[in-house]
């Protein structure tokens, strides 16, 4: 098992972080490191705004960085489970990104 | 209440209490939505769940804060495991009291988080219409599931007035469940179907959730593959059809498990390869390619790797496969499956379910539980809604009540919740008052929600309860017989069972006790003849009977116990 990094963009809403953290525990994965910020500089996420036909406002979304120790198969499962959370807008690891149910073969975040 | 009405809600199941009193007063002052007062909040969630499974519409529950909310948890978890759309509105202490350990305060959002699809807290009364719209959208779309709305008491205070308008649609930018499948995957799926000589269709609860029975039937008119259903999928393909193999898995039929194991192609439709299906995943169907149709990305390749994954509403995916296959009909000849069908026929004749069981009806034998289900099937002409609890009776009902239509078999498959059957039957009966609703239960399960007999009296719900009474926790006992040297640890209580006939009568219903084979048919007929009465039929059955077939632990699908002394 290798330490792997995940990046999430999600709605900055009460309880949203708890859903992400709770999911790791529920599914038996462990979090090694966790970092959360509300996003002030939105320029990096233009692509997502275009894709979702929406406009983000300052501090309306959060960016999470999570490091976890898992196998390849489990990584894919974690990505899919996170993508399923209603408040999660996009989630990516080194190779792939889930942008609301659509799997993209690149790391967008 | 106005928002619920605008959403099309006709029926709410609930129980009042302090934090929900403002809402209950609003219920009193309107006449568009009916409220069913249960006797325990668990009953409310199961009733809403049964209503939802039978109708396809979301069930709605209203409970108060604290114990009201926590009592609803088992029912929410039941709906979550089986992907049943449900909206649960829980009262909460007033906003300024949250976090102070106020009277009847529980962090409902926290407690329910792992067992809901999503949840909402109301922070501003004006948001209520939008939140209700979103909650129903989330609960019913994609892979359905329960949604909790926690409403602090001050948010429903009658002195808060605002300009009300109900949104036409819910737009959640971070939520986009797949609907139509990707054509490249459909093409690959069709290729695989054209190549297969030993295909099996394996359909589960997702196919029912998607209302895909017509599409499945039409597609299989072309493919002509054998079809097996999971416990959750029973009814999606007619049980009386000659291509139907019966249920598969832990207590699946011999032919269904053998066919899955030896197939070269598994077409999985809204099913999730759980541990009650696969037995040991590494030994599962070694030569089969897997096409997996599902609406949920995280269900595919979770346990069994899918060679071809088709994401979308399975109804649409099935239709796309059929349309594509239609254009290649000249390449497909279903007669290549003939040897496969012959092989399945042979398996069926070797160890099929024993349909002759109930013919042995002399009084020197105790009543067999299977025979009870077979008689109920015969008397109701196979057309009743059947709810069940959990245990041996559930498996006998699944095996021997042959469902020809979807949404007729209502049981807690994923969570395995004892106490589900009776309240679920109430929900079904309220939705379909003119149809026969049967609750096949056991004396263990029925006592877990027995208080709802009172609700049945209040709302005049003439359900037929068939209590398969083996005076023990039968499935626990079976495992103890098979794996624990017959040590029946805490699974028996024969000296302390209530007189169910008197119990039913004390609730104002009818009770019938059946102990002899010669009384079985007549007793059941009598019960079903009382159209306007809830009848509690207490049938004493052979306590030593086991459910077979049963998979051998850690084996493949081929490894089954077929009876107490026979193994594959």
Three-class SS of B296-363: CHHHCCCCCCCCEEEECCHHHHHHHHHHHHHCCHHHCCHHHHHHHHHHHHHHHHHHCCCCCHHHCCCC
Whole-Å CA distances, B52 to A61, B47, B108, B141, B158 = 35, 8, 23, 14, 31
- Within 8 A of B110 by CB-CB distance, chain A residues are 18
pLDDT band at A51 (very low <50, low <70, confident <90, very high): confident
Instruction: Name the residue among B109, B173, B298 with its Cβ closest to that of A84.
Output: B298
CB B43 within 8 A of CB B423: yes
- Within 8 A of B173 by CB-CB distance, chain A residues are 52, 54, 89, 100
Indicate if B153 belongs to the active site.
yes
Report the residue of chain B nearest A74, measured CA to CA.
B302
Beta-carbon contacts below 8 Å between A and B: 49
Q: Which 3 state secondary structure label does DSSP give B394?
A: helix
User: Rounded to a whole number, what is the distance in Å from the CA of A13 to chain B's nearest CA?
Assistant: 10
CB contact under 8 A, B301 and A76: yes
CB contact under 8 A, B175 and A19: no
CB B181 within 8 A of CB B317: yes
Q: Report, in angstroms and rounded to the nearest whole number, the Rg of chain A calculated over CA atoms.
A: 13
Q: Strands B118-121 and A102-104, how do they pair?
A: unpaired
Q: Which 3 state secondary structure label does DSSP give B291?
A: strand
Whole-Å CA distances, B460 to A85, B255, B536, B552 = 41, 43, 14, 45
Asked if pLDDT for residue B544 goes beyond 90, the answer is yes
CB B219 within 8 A of CB B387: no
Report the residue of chain A nearest B134, measured CA to CA.
A86
Could you report the per-residue pLDDT of B285-322, keeping only the tens digit for each?
999 999 999 999 999 989 999 999 999 999 999 999 99
CB contact under 8 A, A14 and B172: no
pLDDT band at A44 (very low <50, low <70, confident <90, very high): confident
Residue A109 confidence (pLDDT): 66
Higher pLDDT, A72 or A30: A30
Residue B321 confidence (pLDDT): 98
Cα dihedral value B73, B78, B82, B85, nearest 10: -50
Please list the alpha-helical segments (H only) found in B161-308: 183-195, 205-209, 213-223, 254-262, 275-278
Q: Which of B103, B123, B218, B522 is catalytic?
A: B103
pLDDT band at A105 (very low <50, low <70, confident <90, very high): low
The chain A residues in contact with chain B (CB within 8 A) are 10-11, 14-15, 18-19, 22, 26, 52, 54, 76-77, 80-81, 83-84, 86-89, 98, 100-103
Alpha-carbon distance B72 to B449, whole Å? 13
CB contact under 8 A, A81 and B298: yes
Could you report the per-residue pLDDT of B99-109, keeping only the tens digit for each?
999 999 999 99
Could you report the per-residue pLDDT of B419-455, keeping only the tens digit for each?
999 999 999 999 999 999 999 999 999 999 999 999 9
pLDDT band at A101 (very low <50, low <70, confident <90, very high): low
User: Rounded to a whole number, what is the distance in Å from the CA of A42 to chain B's nearest CA?
Assistant: 16
Instruction: Name the residue among B113, B178, B302 with its Cβ closest to that of A101.
Output: B178
Bridge partners, residue B244, by sequence: B227
Ramachandran class of B353: left when φ > 0, alpha when ψ lies in -120 to 50, beta otherwise? beta
Could you report the per-residue pLDDT of B250-260, keeping only the tens digit for each?
999 999 999 99
Residues in contact with B99: Cβ distance below 8 Å, sequence separation at least 6, in sequence order: none
Report, as an integer, the average pLDDT of B70-87.
98
pLDDT band at B43 (very low <50, low <70, confident <90, very high): very high
Instruction: Name the residue among B117, B119, B177 with its Cβ closest to that of A101.
Output: B177
Among A43-47, B19-23, B548-552, the range scoring the smallest mean pLDDT is A43-47
- Within 8 A of A18 by CB-CB distance, chain B residues are 110, 113
* Residue among B552, B567, B547 nearest B351 (CA): B567
Structure tokens given for B147: 């949604």
Q: Cβ-count burial of B96 within 10 angstroms (0-12 exposed, 13-18 middle, 19+ buried)?
A: exposed
Asked if pLDDT for residue B338 goes beyond 80, the answer is yes
The strands making up B560-563's β-sheet, listed across from edge to edge, are B550-551, B560-563, B566-567
């Amino acid at each position: 098992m290798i330490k792997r990094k995940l990046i999430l963009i999600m709605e900055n809403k009460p309880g949203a972080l708890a859903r992400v953290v709770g999911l790791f525990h529920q599914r038996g994965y462990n979090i090694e490191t966790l970092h959360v910020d509300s996003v002030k500089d939105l320029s990096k996420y233009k692509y997502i705004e275009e894709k979702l036909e929406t406009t983000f406002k300052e501090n309306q979304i959060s960016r999470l960085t999570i490091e976890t120790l898992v196998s390849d198969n489990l990584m894919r499962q974690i990505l899919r489970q996170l993508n399923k959370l209603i408040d999660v807008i996009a989630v990516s690891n080194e190779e792939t990104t889930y942008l609301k149910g659509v799997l993209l073969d690149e790391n967008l975040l | 209440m106005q928002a619920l009405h605008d959403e099309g809600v006709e029926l709410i199941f609930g129980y009042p209490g302090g934090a929900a009193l403002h809402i209950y007063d609003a219920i009193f002052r309107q006449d568009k939505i009916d409220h069913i007062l249960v006797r325990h909040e668990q009953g409310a969630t199961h009733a809403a769940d049964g209503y939802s499974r039978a109708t396809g519409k979301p069930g709605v529950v209203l409970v108060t804060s604290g114990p009201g909310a926590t009592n609803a948890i088992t029912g929410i978890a039941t709906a979550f495991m089986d992907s049943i759309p449900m909206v649960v509105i829980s009262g909460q202490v007033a906003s300024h009291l949250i976090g102070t350990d106020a009277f009847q305060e529980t962090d409902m959002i926290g407690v329910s988080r792992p067992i809901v699809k999503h949840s909402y807290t109301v922070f501003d009364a004006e948001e209520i219409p939008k939140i209700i719209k979103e909650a129903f959208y989330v609960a019913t779309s994609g892979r359905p599931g329960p949604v909790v709305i926690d409403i602090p008491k001050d948010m429903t205070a009658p002195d808060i007035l605002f300009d009300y308008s109900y949104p036409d649609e819910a737009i959640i930018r971070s939520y986009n469940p797949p609907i139509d499948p990707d054509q490249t995957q459909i093409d690959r799926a069709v290729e695989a179907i054209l190549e297969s000589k030993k295909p099996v269709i394996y359909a589960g609860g997702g196919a029912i959730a998607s209302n895909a029975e017509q599409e499945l039937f039409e597609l299989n008119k072309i493919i002509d593959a054998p079809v097996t259903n999971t416990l959750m999928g029973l009814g999606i393909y007619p049980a009386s059809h000659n291509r139907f193999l019966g249920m598969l898995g832990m207590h699946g039929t011999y032919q269904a498990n053998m066919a899955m194991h030896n197939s070269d192609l598994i077409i999985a439709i809204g099913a999730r390869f759980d541990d009650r299906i696969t037995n040991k995943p590494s030994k599962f169907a070694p030569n089969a390619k897997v096409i997996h149709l599902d609406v949920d990305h995280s269900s595919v390749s979770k346990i069994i790797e899918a060679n071809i994954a088709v994401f979308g509403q399975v109804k649409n995916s099935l239709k796309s496969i059929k349309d594509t296959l239609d254009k290649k009909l000249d390449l497909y000849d279903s007669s290549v499956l003939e040897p496969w069908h012959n092989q399945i026929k042979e398996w069926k004749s070797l160890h099929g379910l024993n349909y002759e069981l109930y013919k042995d009806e002399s009084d020197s034998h105790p009543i067999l539980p299977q025979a009870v289900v077979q008689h109920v099937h015969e008397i109701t002409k196979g057309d009743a809604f059947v709810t069940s609890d959990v245990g041996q009776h559930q498996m006998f009902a699944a095996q021997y009540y042959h469902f020809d239509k979807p949404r007729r078999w209502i049981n807690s498959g994923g969570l395995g919740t004892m106490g589900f059957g009776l309240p679920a039957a109430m929900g079904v009966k309220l939705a379909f008052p003119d149809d026969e609703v049967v609750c096949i239960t056991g004396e263990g399960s029925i006592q877990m929600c027995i208080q709802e007999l009172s609700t049945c009296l209040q709302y005049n719900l003439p359900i037929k309860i068939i209590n398969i009474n083996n005076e023990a926790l039968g499935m626990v006992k079976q495992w103890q017989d098979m794996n624990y040297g017959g040590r029946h640890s805490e699974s028996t209580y024969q000296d302390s069972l209530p007189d169910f006939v008197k119990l039913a009568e004390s609730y104002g219903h009818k009770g019938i006790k059946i102990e002899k084979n010669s009384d079985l048919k007549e007793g059941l007929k009598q019960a079903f003849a009382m159209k306007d009465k809830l009848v509690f039929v207490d049938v004493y059955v052979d306590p030593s009977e086991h459910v077979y077939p049963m998979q051998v632990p850690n084996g493949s699908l081929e490894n089954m116990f077929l009876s107490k002394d026979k193994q594959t």
